Amino acid sequence: MFPRSSKSLLNSLRVGALFVLGIGSATQAQQQTAPPAPPAGTRILNQAETTYDYAGFSVRLQSNAVQIEVAPVEAVTLAPDNSRSVTPGGFVSLAHRLTNAGNVAADFSVRLAPQNGGGFALLDAKVIRDLNGNGNGNGLADAGEPEVSGAITLNAGESADLVVTGRVPATAGNGQTARLILNATSTAQKVTGQSTDTLTLSQDVAVEVTKSATPQNATRGGTVNWQIIANSRGKTNPAPIPVTVDGAPRSYIILRDELPANVTFGAFTGTPNVNATPLYYRVGDAFQTYTSAAQTPIDAIAWGLTKLDSGTTFVGAFSARQRQREWRLAQHRAFLLRWRRHARQRCAFQRSVGQRAPIAADARILH
280-313: per-residue pLDDT in tens? Answer: 998 888 888 999 999 888 888 999 999 988 889 9
Integer Rg of the chain from CA: 29
Residue-wise pLDDT tens digits, 65-99: 888 888 899 999 999 999 887 877 777 889 999 99
Domains, the chain, ordered by start: 4-69 (no CATH), 76-201 (2.60.40.10), 207-337 (2.60.40.1170)
Q: Give 77's Cβ-side CA count (13 Å radius).
A: 11
* Res 350 pLDDT > 60: no
pTM of the predicted protein model: 0.56
Q: Which of 113, 178, 101, 186 shows the shortest CA–CA distance to 152?
A: 186
State how far the alpha carbon of 345 is from the alpha carbons of 18, 72, 109, 200, 201, in Å. Answer: 61, 47, 34, 10, 10
